[in-house]
Amino acid sequence: MARKVIIDCDPGIDDAVAISMALFDPRIDLVAVTATAGNVPAEQASRNVQAIIERLDPPRFPRLGAATFAEGCAGTDNRLMHGDDGLGNQGFVVSRLHHQHPSEKVICDAVRADPHGVTLVCLGPLTNIARAFQRDPELPVLVDRLVISGGCVDGVGNVTAVAEFNMFFDANSARTVFRSPVTKTLVPLDVTRTVRLTLDFLDRLPPETTRVGGFLRRILPFTYRAYHQRLGQESILLHDVVTLVSVLEPALFECTEMSGDVETRGELTLGLTVFDRRHSPQWRANMDVARRADPEKVIDCMVNSLSLAGSAAAGE
């Protein structure tokens, strides 16, 4: 049976690829896609969620949630790696900005409609999740599982020396979520970094004549260029897509129970994910953490899922 999923995201090119898979993969029943500020500001994130879904035109539209200004968050974004509009500067237009409920309300409603039945896949900063838990304090125990893209166990960050972007952007919300009793899995940079996509990934996408193939061929070249120009790398990472694969095919990942928290104050360490790895840990284990994946199989899963999206969404 398909797993009911909400994707909370800040599109972002890797978020967009993950949504493209989730909209058509029969293993997922995508009930809602909620936007949050992160890679791009709140309004742009909401616009992007709508643009992606309208372009791909799935048989069943998920509910959409709008991002609202994230107070107290790091004054940063990730437009260098995703484009000024977050989707590779392709100038996608949305038909009209539908009236949408705020993301945290959509999350609360969807979880309440099917207690213990919904997996929340968090591909951006955890602002909406913390807000949803504040709005409805019983929610953490009603969510089936939270799967979080972000953090790092080895302490090697991607936005600062030690912090991963999603954790750094809203460290307070990340801490609230880490400390909440929700059942959770973290898919950190240590694992997502092992899945490198060389240029030939583009040849494995569905044909350009399909809606998804055409869409991905418009946004992904920006990522290859950004990695080349900014990092001197010829291959790219699609962190959030790896996280989605962990939902589609958990067997490809080796997970360990760990106790994690997030630094919310450090001058050099804001957003650092901290794990008690002492011989005799003093903190209680509060999450499963993906520690290893099989990169080739993860890539095959992406390709296969996207090919299903290609067959499901015929051309324009």
Is 173 among the residues that bind ligand BDR (CB under 6 A)? no
Q: Give the chain as a DSSP string.
A: -PEEEEEEE---HHHHHHHHHHHH-TTEEEEEEEE-SSSS-HHHHHHHHHHHHHHH--SSPPEEEE----TT--S---HHHH-TTSSTT-----SS----EEHHHHHHHHHHHSTT-EEEEE-S-SHHHHHHHHH-TTGGGTSSEEEEE---SSS--SSSSS--HHHHHTHHHHHHHHHSS--EEEE-HHHHTT-EE-GGGGGGSPPTTSHHHHHHHHHHHHHHHHHHHHH--SSEE-HHHHHHHHHH-GGGEEEEEE-EEE-SS-TTTTT-EEE--SSS-SSPP-EEEEEEE-HHHHHHHHHHHHHHHHHHS---
CB of residue 316 vs ligand BDR: minimum separation in angstroms?
A: 26
- Compare residues 17 and 32 and give the one whose CB is closer to ligand BDR: 17
Task: Compute how many residues bind Ca ion; rule: CB under 5 A.
Answer: 6
Q: Which residue is at the shortest CB distance from ligand BDR?
A: 165
CB of residue 315 vs Ca ion: minimum separation in angstroms?
A: 28
Site map (CB under 6 A) of ligand BDR, residues 138-157, x = contact: -----------xx-------
Q: How far is residue 62's CA from residue 131's CA, in Å, rounded to a whole number?
A: 21
Is 83 among the residues that bind Ca ion (CB under 5 A)? no
Is 288 among the residues that bind ligand BDR (CB under 6 A)? no
Binding part of the chain for Ca ion, among 60-68, 84-92, 181-189, 235-243 by CB under 5 A, reads 235-243
CB of residue 280 vs ligand BDR: minimum separation in angstroms?
A: 31
Is 239 among the residues that bind ligand BDR (CB under 6 A)? yes
- When binding is defined by CB under 6 A, the residue of 5, 7, 15, 105 that contacts ligand BDR is 15
β partners of residue 289? 186, 256
Task: Compute how many residues bind ligand BDR; rule: CB under 6 A.
Answer: 15
End-to-end Cα, the chain, rounded Å: 30
Interface positions, 32-51, toward ligand BDR (CB under 6 A): 39
Is 14 among the residues that bind ligand BDR (CB under 6 A)? yes
Question: How distant is the alpha carbon of residue 104 from its chain centre?
Answer: 16
Q: How far is residue 211's CA from residue 307's CA, in Å, rounded to a whole number?
A: 11
Does residue 101 carry a catalytic annotation? no
Site map (CB under 6 A) of ligand BDR, residues 65-84, x = contact: -------------x------
CB of residue 114 vs ligand BDR: minimum separation in angstroms?
A: 26
Query: CB under 5 to 8 A by kind: which of Ca ion, ligand BDR, none does 260 bind?
Result: none
- Compare residues 222 and 312 and give the one whose CB is closer to ligand BDR: 222
Interface positions, 107-126, toward Ca ion (CB under 5 A): 123-124
Catalytic residues: 239
The footprint of Ca ion (CB under 5 A) covers 10, 12, 15, 123-124, 240
The footprint of ligand BDR (CB under 6 A) covers 12, 14-15, 39, 78, 123-124, 149-150, 158, 164-166, 239-240
